[in-house]
Every structure is written in structure tokens, then in C-alpha cells.
């Protein structure tokens, strides 16, 4: 769709672009002191001049994108797309991707890679999502990585356990940013975990009480602003993408639910174009009991639906069998065999009921700082290693 530019030599073009590419384009154009519309013009022109199109680019989650191009260029571009048998969205994504690859950052920085995104989830409550999220985030930070730990659960257990206040309702937070109502930079809500062990590399995005209404708020936003065709499932990505350049790993502690917010987290964990298999994906803590198997099947079904609906890959990074106690007899031991026999996802660790975990929570201290040599801390390091293929 195109409409004329006020002075007549350009026309407004309405197409679609994935948020990841939109953000990279914005940053690179600024780094090169270019207008975005000139960058897109160069991208489209260069792509059309290629003997054939480039490799396919992941366009899932593409959202409305407008820019101004020289009159006639968009019609020529559409004709090229038709000749190459690709959609206009795919053609634009290929153009922009290639332009980014051929116009590197002048700062000499290597092309920005997406941070690894580890989504710790299970709609069953009390299985250890928060313990595992906190533990692996600490482990990555201990290893020298810059880590953002996201308390995505309005219960706010993770924030509480690290001694950080939750954000009161109505204030700027991840929730307001997911709903397009963010007022200031989301970075302003981030808290650095002040513990010498992590040398300021471990950051927390605290929970917000508004999160209890998140599913409803995302749904309303998608309807209200349908002109921009906002996709519900990319709400988390839209909020976090502005922070991604600051981190090597983002760990998300999910709530015990399977609603729209959960879909947004699963969608955020999908494998992006060029991203290695198993660097982002889901980690699922489970218990060695039958109800955990039922919960797992429901979650796996939801993941499968998303994969099909959006033609995306979501990698299983692994299972964690938590609070395991063989003294519970055949239910526990046969259930553990069941988890191990699944094979894919594989079991990253089997963890007993360990006192250091409960003590660290009571002391509101990071486990790896409170009891760095405990079995529980070692288990967290093992999971972190296993979840980065
Ligand atoms: N391996 C463990 N040993 C001892 N206590 C543990 C262990 N794992 C978790 N816990 C404790 O069990 C409780 C539940 O764990 P956690 O909060 O991590 O579960 P969750 O899945 O996040 O729960 P929710 O669904 O409510 O968010 C917490 O008090 C936690 O400290
Ligand atoms: Mg929790």
C-alpha cells in the first residue's frame, strides 16, 4: 500500500517487519547517521539488484511498518517479490537483513547477536520454577555473563526472595511496556543485584502487581490498536527488545498459568533466524509424580500449537526433576524413569529437597552467594551448563 509524500518525490509505504529487524534497523541507521527511510531505500534497491533473493528470514511476528520510499520503488519491489515467489513481507525482511549484514556498525562491534533467552515454565505451581530461574541466572552471572532475570510472575516470589520490592500498580513496569503504555525507558525499572559475587552483572526486572491482569490487558490492547495489527504473542518481545543489547542471557521466571502472557513468553523463546539450536528455549521443572506428567502434556500441547500457528521452532532445553525423594517409593522412582525415558527433552538434573534452597529464600539472599558450595548451587550450575547447548 502506498500514498504520496507531501512534496511528491516519495510515497508512504505500509508493509510489515518483525520487531527484531525493526529495532536493529533503527540502531544501525542511527549509528551510520542515516535516515531510516534512506536505509530502507538502499536495502530494497540493493536487494532488487541481486541475481536472486537471499536466504529466507524469520518473519513470524512481523508487525505493521511504514516508511517513505522514492516514488515507484515500491511497485518495482513488489514486482521483484512476485518474480522471486516471496511475499512482500519476506522481500522486505530479506532486504533489511542483507543491508544490516553489509553495513556493519561503525563502532567496530561485531553484529549484535540476540541474547540467549531461557524461559522457565510449568503451569503447575510449586515445582521450582522460581528456584531454577534464580539459580541459573546466578550461575550465568558468576560465569561472567551479563544476565537479566525477569520476574514475570505477578506473585512476585522471585523479587521477594532477592529482597527487591515489587512495582506498585499503575507504575511503569514490564506490564505497562508490554501493553504499549510505557512512559519512561524500561531500563529505569531494572535493579542491579548488589552482591560482589556477581560484580553487577546480575539484574532483575521486578514483578508488578498489574501482572495479574496481564492477559486481559494484552487482549484489549490488540483490539484497541488493531490498526497497527499488534500481535498478542509478541507483546513480551516488543517490551524486552529494547534491552536485549545490554545482556548475554535473559531468564524468565514464568507464572503457574497457561494464558496469553504465557504464550508471549513461549513465543519469545523461539529460535530466531541464524540463532543456534538450543541457545534459547524452554526449561521445565517437574516433580516425580503423576500430576506433573499431566501438566507437562498440556504445556507440550501449547508449545506444539504455537509452533504450528506461527511456523516457528521452540527448543526444549531440558527438564529439571525437582524435590525428588526416592523414599516416596514406586511413584517417585517410576515417575523419574518416565522423565528420563522421554529422552527429548532430556533431564538436565535431578534435585532432592535441599535445605540450602529454603534457607537462602528465608534469608532473601541469592543461593549461589549464600551457599556457593552446596549441592543445590552445584545443581544450578549443572542446569545452566546443560541449558546452553
Ligand atoms: N530443591 C529444592 N529443595 C528445597 N526446597 C526447594 C527446592 N526447590 C524449590 N524449593 C522450595 O519450594 C518452594 C516452591 O518452589 P518455587 O517457588 O521455586 O516453585 P514455583 O514453581 O516457582 O512455584 P509457583 O508456581 O508458585 O511460582 C519454594 O519455597 C522453594 O524455595
Ligand atoms: Mg514461582
Query: Which residue's alpha carbon is nearest to atom 23 within ligand 1?
Result: 126
Same domain for 319 and 295? yes
Same domain for 84 and 171? no
379 pocket-lining for ligand 1 (C-beta < 6 Å): no
Residue at which a domain ends, from 69, 102, 135? 102
Q: What percent of the chain has pLDDT over 90?
A: 69
DSSP state of 113: P
Residue at which a domain ends, from 102, 125, 150? 102
pLDDT at 370 over 70: yes
DSSP per-residue letters across 322-381:
EEE-GGGTHHHHHHHHHHHHH-SSPEEEEEE--HHHHHHHHHT--HHHHSTTSHHHHHHH
125 pocket-lining for ligand 1 (C-beta < 6 Å): yes
pLDDT at 218: 80
374 pocket-lining for ligand 1 (C-beta < 6 Å): no
Kindly report, residue by residue over 306-315, the tens digit of the pLDDT: 999 888 899 9
Instruction: Pinpoint the alpha helices (H) of the chain.
Output: 19-31, 36-49, 73-84, 88-102, 129-142, 157-161, 174-178, 214-224, 235-240, 260-268, 290-310, 330-342, 355-363, 367-370, 375-386
pLDDT at 223: 61
Q: State the pLDDT confidence band at 4, using cuts at 50, 70 and 90.
A: low
Q: Which ligand is nearest to the CA of 134?
A: 1
127 pocket-lining for ligand 1 (C-beta < 6 Å): yes
Same domain for 216 and 333? yes
pLDDT at 375: 95
Q: Which atom of ligand 1 is nearest to the CA of 134?
A: 18
Same domain for 195 and 310? yes
Same domain for 352 and 245? yes
Q: How far, in Å, is the centroid of ligand 2 from the Cα of 157?
A: 6
Same domain for 94 and 143? no
Q: How far, in Å, is the centroid of ligand 2 from the Cα of 165?
A: 16
Residue at which a domain ends, from 102, 128, 151? 102
Q: State the pLDDT confidence band at 114, using cuts at 50, 70 and 90.
A: confident
- Structural domain containing residue 11: 2-102
Same domain for 258 and 360? yes
Q: What is the mean pLDDT of the chain?
A: 90
Q: Which of 58-67, 133-142, 294-303, 363-372 has the lowest mean pLDDT?
A: 58-67
Q: Which residue has the higher pLDDT, 227 or 96?
A: 96
Mean pLDDT of 146-171: 95
> Which cell goes with 263?
504464550
pLDDT at 215 over 80: yes
Q: State the pLDDT confidence band at 10, using cuts at 50, 70 and 90.
A: confident
Kindly report, residue by residue over 15-38, the tens digit of the pLDDT: 999 988 998 899 899 889 999 999
Same domain for 87 and 178? no
349 pocket-lining for ligand 1 (C-beta < 6 Å): no
Q: How far, in Å, is the centroid of ligand 1 from the Cα of 172?
A: 28
Q: Does residue 110 form part of some domain?
A: no
Q: Which residue has the higher pLDDT, 219 or 264?
A: 264
pLDDT at 1: 52
254 pocket-lining for ligand 1 (C-beta < 6 Å): no
Same domain for 76 and 51? yes
Q: How many domains does the chain have?
A: 2
pLDDT at 351 over 90: yes
Question: The whole model's pTM is what?
Answer: 0.81
Q: Which of 7-11, 36-40, 119-123, 349-353 has the lowest mean pLDDT?
A: 7-11
> Which cell goes with 291?
500430576
Query: Which residue's alpha carbon is nearest to atom 6 within ligand 1?
Result: 357
The C-alpha atoms of residue 194 and residue 372 are separated, in whole angstroms, by 16
Kindly report, residue by residue over 220-258, the tens digit of the pLDDT: 776 655 444 457 888 899 899 889 989 999 999 999 999
Tell me the CA distances in angstroms from 8 to 34, 44, 54, 120, one per residue in order: 21, 20, 32, 52
Q: Which atom of ligand 1 is nearest to the CA of 124?
A: 25
130 pocket-lining for ligand 1 (C-beta < 6 Å): yes
pLDDT at 227: 43
Q: Does residue 163 form part of some domain?
A: yes
Q: Which residue has the higher pLDDT, 375 or 216?
A: 375
pLDDT at 226: 45
Q: How far, in Å, is the centroid of ligand 1 from the Cα of 361?
A: 9
pLDDT at 62: 87
Amino acid at each position: 500500500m502506498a500514498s504520496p509524500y507531501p512534496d511528491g518525490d516519495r510515497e508512504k509505504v505500509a508493509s510489515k517487519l518483525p520487531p527484531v529487524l525493526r529495532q536493529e534497523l533503527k540502531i544501525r541507521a542511527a549509528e551510520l547517521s542515516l535516515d531510516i527511510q534512506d536505509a530502507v531505500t538502499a536495502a530494497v534497491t540493493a536487494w532488487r539488484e541481486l541475481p536472486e533473493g537471499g536466504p529466507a528470514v524469520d518473519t513470524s511476528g512481523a508487525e505493521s511498518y511504514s516508511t517513505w520510499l522514492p516514488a515507484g520503488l515500491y511497485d518495482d519491489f513488489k514486482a521483484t517479490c512476485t518474480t522471486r515467489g516471496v511475499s512482500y513481507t519476506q522481500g522486505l525482511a530479506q532486504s533489511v537483513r542483507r543491508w544490516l549484514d553489509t553495513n556493519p556498525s561503525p563502532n567496530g562491534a561485531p553484529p549484535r547477536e540476540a541474547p540467549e533467552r531461557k524461559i522457565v515454565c510449568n503451569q503447575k505451581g510449586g515445582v521450582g520454577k522460581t528456584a531454577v530461574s534464580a539459580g541459573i541466572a546466578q550461575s550465568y552471572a558468576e560465569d561472567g555473563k551479563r544476565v537479566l532475570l525477569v520476574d514475570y510472575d505477578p506473585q512476585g516470589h522471585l523479587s521477594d526472595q532477592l529482597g527487591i520490592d515489587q512495582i506498585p500498580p499503575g507504575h511503569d513496569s514490564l506490564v505497562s511496556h508490554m501493553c504499549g503504555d510505557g512512559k519512561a525507558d524500561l531500563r529505569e525499572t531494572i535493579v542491579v543485584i548488589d552482591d560482589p559475587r556477581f560484580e553487577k552483572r546480575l539484574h532483575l526486572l521486578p514483578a508488578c502487581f498489574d501482572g495479574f491482569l496481564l492477559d486481559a490487558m494484552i487482549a484489549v490492547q490488540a483490539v484497541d490498536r488493531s490498526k497497527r495489527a499488534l500481535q498478542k504473542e509478541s507483546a513480551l518481545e516488543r517490551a524486552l527488545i529494547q534491552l536485549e543489547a545490554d545482556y548475554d542471557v535473559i531468564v524468565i521466571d514464568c507464572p503457574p498459568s497457561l494464558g496469553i502472557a504465557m504464550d508471549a513468553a513461549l513465543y519469545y523463546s523461539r529460535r530466531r533466524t541464524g540463532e543456534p539450536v538450543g541457545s534459547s528455549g524452554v526449561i521445565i521443572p517437574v516433580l516425580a509424580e503423576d500430576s506433573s506428567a499431566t501438566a507437562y502434556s498440556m504445556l507440550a500441547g501449547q508449545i506444539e500449537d504455537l509452533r504450528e500457528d506461527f511456523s516457528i521452532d521452540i527448543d526444549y532445553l531440558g527438564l529439571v526433576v525437582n524435590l525428588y525423594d526416592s523414599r516416596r517409593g514406586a511413584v517417585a522412582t517410576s515417575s523419574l524413569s518416565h522423565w528420563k525415558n522421554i529422552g527429548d527433552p532430556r533431564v538436565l538434573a535431578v534435585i532432592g529437597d535441599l535445605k540450602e534452597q529454603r534457607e537462602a529464600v528465608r534469608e532473601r539472599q541469592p543461593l549461589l552467594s549464600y551457599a556457593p558450595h552446596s549441592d543445590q548451587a552445584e545443581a544450578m550450575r549443572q542446569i545452566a551448563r546443560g541449558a546452553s547447548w
